[in-house]
Amino acid sequence: MDFNNLVSKIQETHNYLQAEAAKSVNITITIRNWIIGFYIQEFEQEGEDRAKYGDKLLPNLEKQFVGSGIKGMSARRFREYRRFYNIYPHIGEVISKVLPSDAIRRLSTAESGNKIWRLPTAELLTVDSVNEIRIDPKRLITKLSYTHLSEIAKIDEPLKRAFYEMECIKGSWSVSELERQIYSLYFERSGLSKDKNKLSDLVNQKAVQLTPKDVFNNPVAIEFLGLSDRAIVTESDLEQAILDHLQMFLLEMGTGLCFEARQKRILIDDTYDFIDLVFYHRL
């Protein structure tokens, strides 16, 4: 082994194990959020004191986790987890195959937890009808992150969801790439295209692919791991990059454009929100 070979081996080892770590984090986050959604759904249907909470269940849950140090336990997230479980109940089929046996024993001690492990085994791909295509749940949780699946779960049409699941897996899309393809109506364009394979190849040639760094910089992963918010690479970094080169940016936009504020607070319909960057044209 020469020096260049040594460098290559170290780099190869790092890349492989980083990818394996990212994969493990992804799967664990997906399973955790699915189980939380399952428990919430079970409580709403069979909880002994469910009538006491009614529509206030999720806000009350959020209050219980304030100050607990566990991030991501908001009413909005609980609603998201419940939707995720309802869209992907078949993920329960593979939980017992990917979690360690001691974790299964601990989770299944809860009364409702036992139901998780009694779901039937799925085939690789089940096609029940033209509108019902289901991807093998093991492929879903090993090939796609929770953030991917949560974004796809917002789609009501099963066929459309399956389309984006398969394209995400095939193209190794990042979450931002998935969002871009959904907003650009890739599914609808594919339906109108005479050469669907050519369109798919063209999309994936230009697609931004997922990397292990994307996983560790994902806000959901940061919350799950309990890391500092400073570890997140978010749009604020983009804002800072723009501000660092603001003079050149304004010159490029032409004479008269002025920068007013960043993260400007604004009231819309009794709700405060923030605008990332605000400009105005003085002419």
244 and 113 fall within a common domain: no
pLDDT, position 69: 82
Q: Name the residue range of residue 254's domain.
A: 235-281
pLDDT, position 203: 52
276 and 171 fall within a common domain: no
Higher pLDDT, 47 or 115: 47
pLDDT tens readout for residues 173-223: 888 889 888 888 888 777 655 555 655 665 556 555 555 555 555 556 556
- Per the structure block, which two tokens stand in for 9? 């081996």
Higher pLDDT, 167 or 262: 167
What domain count does the chain have?
A: 2
Torsion angle, CA of 221/225/231/232, rounded to 10 degrees?
20
113 and 206 fall within a common domain: yes
Q: Report in angstroms the alpha-carbon separations of 279 from 53, 95, 234.
A: 45, 50, 21
Higher pLDDT, 107 or 61: 61
143 and 275 fall within a common domain: no
pLDDT tens readout for residues 177-189: 898 888 888 887 7
Residue 247 CB contacts under 8 Å (≥ 6 apart), including other chains: none
Burial of 117 from C-beta contacts in 10 A (0-12 / 13-18 / 19+): middle
155 and 123 fall within a common domain: yes
> pTM (2 decimals)?
0.64
120 and 255 fall within a common domain: no
* pLDDT of 72 over the 50 cut: yes
221 and 250 fall within a common domain: no
pLDDT, position 108: 60
Q: What are φ and ψ of residue 126, in 5° steps?
A: -110, 125
Amino acid in position 111: E
* pLDDT of 18 over the 70 cut: yes
pLDDT, position 262: 74
> pLDDT band for position 104 (50/70/90)?
low
59 and 143 fall within a common domain: yes
